[in-house]
Chains A and B, each alone.
Chain A
Amino acid sequence: MLDLLLQTSVNAIYASSYMALIAVGLVLIFGVMGVINFAHGELYMLGAYAVVYFYAENDYPFFLSVAIGLVFVGLVGLAMERALFRPMRGNPLGGLIASIGFLLILQTLAVVGFGVRMEHITPPTQEVVSLLGVSEVTVPLQRLYVIVAAIVCLAALWAFLRYSKFGVALRACAQDPEAAALQGISMNQTARTAMFIGAALAGVAGALTAPLVRTYPFMGHSVIVTAFIIIIVGGIGSLEGAVVAAILYAFVNTFVTTFSDGVIADIVGLMLMLIVLVVRPTGLFGVKDRA
């Protein structure tokens, strides 16, 4: 029984790692631009398809494919910022609806490019390592990559926001766009940076997990639902909240799935979000209401 609990915890840590990447990107975009990117799940999907195209179909090395996916999805994010969110600035609902339109476009492009079938990607490594010296508690090396990459990305993001000039500007814009503009911070530049980072984080999550999940054009749907639950529970606009809520949600979801079933786990997650919305709409870490 202890083995099972430990094993489930390891699985939950893996799930929370990539969910945190997605949710943090979503929060970053919301924080700076005040818009909820409904197409975030599709950015994750694009990252996964970058690995399908470069790694599975054209035999590029796995980590090079992941890097290409990161840059490519980041560029798509830049395009979204320029074409959709900048004209819609000051109209959050308009930006959200425009991103729903963009989501349909990305899904169709994936269907046209790759077909609706599920992609089979052989993981670059099939190796399984046992943890803590207990042979029953194991983790596939591929999952370990995801966990390590997520920690590295999040730590880099934290350092970037904390110490770099851009990071300070980004946080200033998130706190008070007008005051930031008065200090000479370029709103457009900041929005571009946030959008690139936010999209790239979703892309890297998709690229890393592509061999481990079912990769198909509509995979973004369940991802965006999960991401919404996480950012609401964590407090919309709070990066720390997103990480903590991702861990919390992943543990609840993994344990309920293991000991009951997946649909019940989804219902529990949604109920968790509804309760937070009713009892404490600012979430666990939210400070002020921006939506």
Chain B
Amino acid sequence: MRDGKAMNAGRAWRWAIGLGVLYAGLIVLPHVLSFSQQEIAVFLVINVLLVVSYRLLTLTGEWSLGHVVIMGVGGYASALYAKEVGIPVPISMLLGAVTAAVVAYLLSFPLFRMKGFYFLIGSFAAGEVIRLLWKRFRYPFGGPKGLKLIPSFPDINIGGWTIDFFGPVNYYYLCLIVVSLSLFVLYRLERSRIGLTFHAVHWQDQLAESVGVNTWRYRTLAFVVASFFAGLSGTLLAHYIGTVNPTRFDVEQMVFVLIWAIVGGTATIYGPILGVVVLTILNEVVLRKLGLDEMRPLFYGVLLIGSIMFLPNGLESLGEKLRPRRREPADGNAEAKAGAVPEG
């Protein structure tokens, strides 16, 4: 028992140091990048939130094809609140994310009558309907060209020191803060009783039901929470680039989210982050340098097929595969395993 506690403390320290180094790196990062790379870093941070929120949805076993449209709902809503209603931007962003969650809640009634492939196609259809509504109705959604001149994030004044969010560096920091907080919430949620129930709903839905878990309610909860954070990522995007349109949230973007999640793996929260970071770096650094812009989808296609066939658990499983089997002491093993799940 004492050993287990010592190990726990040791782990916690290592975690704290690791996170500290990571964040030091993330804070320095924009200053070593070129302007266009800084912009990519902003999109990357936003996409991290998008793909991690997508993973929350997959925890209950459902793969949606409407997640990017839900992101767009957040972006459109926040843009309309700020532009047409005149709500100050940070509040409109929060309301935008709430709107995405409400839309997801309404969609959950028809969609969760379906499972598996039917859910996949149903979510795709629902997303397309929303996207076509944006395209069809010039008022208020701006039609095929979408909304332009979306108000940007307001300057912040701290004791006479003004921070503006027009350039990529400061907006990068803003996104980093918002996304970090969101990831923390999502991480805690998964480790909580609710998160464990999500896993139960996925792997043993009938058993879970038989012990009194309302699986419908938990699936809906996962969908609504995932949509809230997807919507939030949409608002971050909308107020940075200042324009949203239906093409920005089409099925092609959804395929990218799918690729990030599958290439990275969805068993842990790090998998999808790994996927989006590695693929973005590959995409922006390697492919752009080679000048193979046209060939990019081919590269993604090969990667997707290769990873579903040869690495079905994603990049995150690569470490486990390469690492030699760790020696497992006969005693204290149980504590070590218990220590892996934080209390609470």
Contact = CB atoms under 8 A, between A and B. Distances in A.
Contact of A274 (B110, B116, B120, B136): B110
B305 interface: yes
Given A107-B297, A270-B125, A270-B128, A100 B258 contact: yes
A101 B136 contact: no
A13 B303 CA distance: 41
Interface in A163-207: none
Contact of A267 (B133, B262, B298, B304): B133
Interface string A80-116: 0000100110001110111011111101110110000
A255 to B, nearest CB: 18
Nearest to B144: A263
A19 B246 CA distance: 26
A100 B113 CA distance: 25
Contacts of B304: 97-98, 100-101, 104
Given A263-B136, A267-B136, A105 B301 contact: yes
B255 interface: yes
Interface residues of A, number: 38
Contacts of A97: 258, 262, 304, 308
A100 B294 contact: no
A100 B309 CA distance: 13
Interface in A108-132: 108-109, 111-112
A39 to B, nearest CB: 10
Interface in A257-291: 263-264, 266-267, 270-271, 273-274, 277-278, 281, 291
A271 B258 contact: no
A111 B294 contact: yes
Contact of A277 (B110, B133, B308): B110
A88 B308 contact: yes
A36 B303 CA distance: 20
A274 B262 contact: no
B29 interface: no
Interface residues of B, number: 37
Given A108-B294, A277-B110, A36 B117 contact: yes
Interface string B107-134: 0001001101110111011101100110
The secondary structure that dominates the A interface is helix
Contact of B298 (A104, A264, A281): A104
Contact of B125 (A87, A94, A108, A273): A273
Contact of B116 (A104, A228, A291): A291
B300 interface: yes
Given A232-B121, A277-B114, A281-B118, A267 B129 contact: yes
B88 interface: no
Contact of A278 (B110, B132, B133, B305): B110
A278 B113 contact: yes
Contact of B63 (A93, A103, A278, A281): A93
A27 to B, nearest CB: 13
B125 A274 contact: yes
A266 B132 contact: yes
A112 B295 contact: yes
B208 interface: no
A225 interface: yes
Contacts of A112: 294-295
Given A101-B301, A221-B251, A291 B128 contact: no
B136 A104 contact: no
Contacts of B132: 263, 266-267, 270
Interface string A227-255: 01100100000000000000000000000
Contacts of B322: none
Nearest to B250: A221
B4 interface: no
Interface of A: 36, 84, 87-88, 92-94, 96-98, 100-105, 107-109, 111-112, 221, 225, 228-229, 232, 263-264, 266-267, 270-271, 273-274, 277-278, 281, 291
22 contacts: A36-B117, A87-B309, A88-B308, A88-B309, A93-B63, A96-B117, A96-B120, A97-B258, A98-B308, A98-B309, A104-B300, A104-B304, A105-B298, A105-B302, A108-B298, A108-B301, A109-B298, A112-B295, A221-B251, A267-B129, A281-B118, A291-B117
Given A87-B309, A102-B305, A291-B118, 19 more contacts: A96-B120, A97-B308, A98-B304, A100-B255, A100-B301, A104-B255, A104-B298, A108-B296, A112-B294, A112-B295, A225-B128, A264-B136, A267-B129, A270-B128, A270-B129, A271-B129, A273-B121, A277-B114, A291-B116
Interface of B: 63, 110, 113-114, 116-118, 120-122, 124-126, 128-129, 132-133, 135-136, 251, 255, 258, 262, 294-298, 300-305, 308-309, 312
